[in-house]
Amino acid sequence: MTPTPTNIVLLGAGAREHALAWKLTRDGATVHVLPGNAGIPGSHPAISATDFPAIQQFCQEKDVQLIVVGPEAPLAAGVADYFQDSDIRVFGPSRAGATLESSKVWSKDFMRRHGVATAKSWKFRSDQLNEARAKAAELDGQVVVKYDGLAAGKGVYVCSSTEEAEEALRSLQAEHTGWFSFLLEEKLTGPEISIIGITDGNRIRLLSPSQDHKQLLAHDQGPNTGGMGAYCPVPFCDDNVLAAIRQDIVDPTLRGLQTEPFSFRGFIYFGIMLTPQGPKLLEYNVRLGDPEAEVLLPALDTSLLDLITATLDGRLAETVVRQRPGAYVGVVLASGGYPASGFPVGFPITGLDQLHPGTLVFHGATKRTAEGQLVTNGGRVLVLVAHGHDLEEAVARVYREAEKVQFEGMYIRPDIGQRPEPTEIFSAVR
């Protein structure tokens, strides 16, 4: 058994990484964030999360023996493989394991091989657009078109008519040059939830169920964003729903990870839709969700550092995951104009010193001017997180706190944590 390392490198730069750094620091670690951002203590802006030689040199200089990875890009670029033969351990899957997220086609084949409940789908190459069109017409345009690669959330087109499916196929062709693959999936309906676990490829420990709010505007309207807010736990995701998710999705995935020829030690994220036919897996991610992490990590009572070390040591079976009681809600304070490109940044942020000491502030995209003024530096600027005895109280608190913060053009989605309960789907899953 390796002694618990106290000196850690954390890769990434957003509010998810701020939450990870905050939690690991509470667990007793000294956390160096590469590159981090102006609001995350211990950030080193000169070192990119995918510059592996520079990361290695940093680890040697600071005597770091553990790297925790926030976003998918360093994993898909092979950070775990790069350090495989060194004495630096990486919490996150190998490049082959990361294919579960980086290739929609590969991950769908994995789901099929291992009997994971998911939407029916058909695979096409870029020279088979006519065949895809015919299939979409056969399904009355009730399809989802998915580009087979990392597309920063922009490779998925949810369609409701043959015209929309046509348009999606046209956009796919316009946006990607050269040879590519894509999936056509049957369109499912139902509430979505995020189930995130820590796995060593044999066992899994699940964190609390959470829900993201991906669209910009209230009532799930407007363009998709990186996520405008999240909460946990999810009241309608009770033991019966969780049992169905375990049986139809989590357990078959684990059996798959046990038999596939790659190792997987890290976070695994199941994006799930609760359909009238039961839970179906929409996607895997090989990392914590953002903004889900910002509520899940404060809710986690167990030491994350211990869970990570146990995972790397193959001792996950000995661990217990405890959640704090009550609810956590996180709202994103976004720049006006986000998620379109070209919105202005650099606006001074005020009011953070007025917040209640129980409110957590995670920085997504801030920077300091030469004079030391904190200013906006991207789309999802800050995430505020509040706790309550129940969801209602946490929601009321977080919005009260958010009113104290100001920057020019600030936008906050007004209905985080306030979706109506989906009673009919809930009963059908049972």
Contacts with ligand AMP by CB under 6 A lie at: 119, 144, 146, 156, 158, 185, 187-188, 192, 271, 282-283
Task: Give yes or no for a cis peptide into 279 (omega within 30° of 0).
Answer: no
Question: Whose CB is nearest to ligand AMP?
Answer: 283
For residue 159, give the nearest of 131, 177, 132, 124 by alpha carbon.
Answer: 132
Binding mask 215-234 toward ligand GLY (x if CB under 6 A, else -) reads ------------x-------
Indicate which single residue of 121, 225, 285, 311 sits in contact with ligand GLY (rule: CB under 6 A).
Answer: 285
Q: How far is the CB of 400 from ligand GLY (least distance, A)?
A: 24
Q: How far is the CB of 256 from ligand GLY (least distance, A)?
A: 21
Q: Is residue 290 at the binding interface for ligand GLY, with CB under 6 A as the rule?
A: yes
Q: How far is the CB of 376 from ligand AMP (least distance, A)?
A: 27
- Which of ligand AMP, ligand GLY, none does residue 227 bind (CB under 5 to 8 Å by kind)? ligand GLY
Binding mask 171-190 toward ligand GLY (x if CB under 6 A, else -) reads --------------------
Distance CA 387, CA 300 (A): 12
DSSP conformation letters of 225-237: -S-SEEEES-TT-
Phi, psi at 224, each rounded to 5°: -70, 145
Collapse the DSSP code of 192 into the 3-class scheme (helix H, G, I; strand E, B; otherwise coil) and give the result.
strand
For residue 364, give the nearest of 10, 76, 12 by alpha carbon.
Answer: 12
Indicate which single residue of 17, 81, 148, 212 sits in contact with ligand GLY (rule: CB under 6 A).
Answer: 212
For residue 213, give the nearest of 232, 200, 226 by alpha carbon.
Answer: 226
Distance CA 330, CA 360 (A): 9
Distance CA 210, CA 235 (A): 9
Cα-Cα-Cα-Cα dihedral sign, residues 62, 65, 66, 72: positive
- Which of ligand GLY, ligand AMP, none does residue 283 bind (CB under 5 to 8 Å by kind)? ligand AMP
Q: How far is the CB of 254 from ligand AMP (least distance, A)?
A: 20
Looking at the chain, how many residues does it have? 430
Indicate which single residue of 27, 81, 292, 401 sits in contact with ligand GLY (rule: CB under 6 A).
Answer: 292
Question: Whose CB is nearest to ligand GLY?
Answer: 289
Phi, psi at 156, each rounded to 5°: -120, 125
Q: How far is the CB of 253 from ligand GLY (least distance, A)?
A: 17
Q: Which stretch binds ligand GLY (CB under 6 A): 41-49, 167-175, 180-188, 287-295?
A: 287-295
Number of residues that bind ligand GLY (CB under 6 A): 6
- Which residues are within 8 A (CB) of 57 and not within 5 positions of it... i.e. 6 or more apart? none
- In the complex with ligand GLY, the residue whose CB is nearer, 201 or 289, is 289
What string of H, E and C letters represents the secondary structure of 318-364?
A: HCCCCECCCEEEEEEEECCCCCCCCCCCCCECECHHHCCCCCEEEEC
Cα-Cα-Cα-Cα dihedral sign, residues 256, 309, 104, 206: positive
- Which of ligand AMP, ligand GLY, none does residue 292 bind (CB under 5 to 8 Å by kind)? ligand GLY
Q: Which stretch binds ligand GLY (CB under 6 A): 47-55, 163-171, 181-189, 289-297?
A: 289-297
- In the complex with ligand GLY, the residue whose CB is nearer, 282 or 410, is 282
Chain residues in the site for ligand GLY (CB under 6 A): 212, 227, 285, 289-290, 292
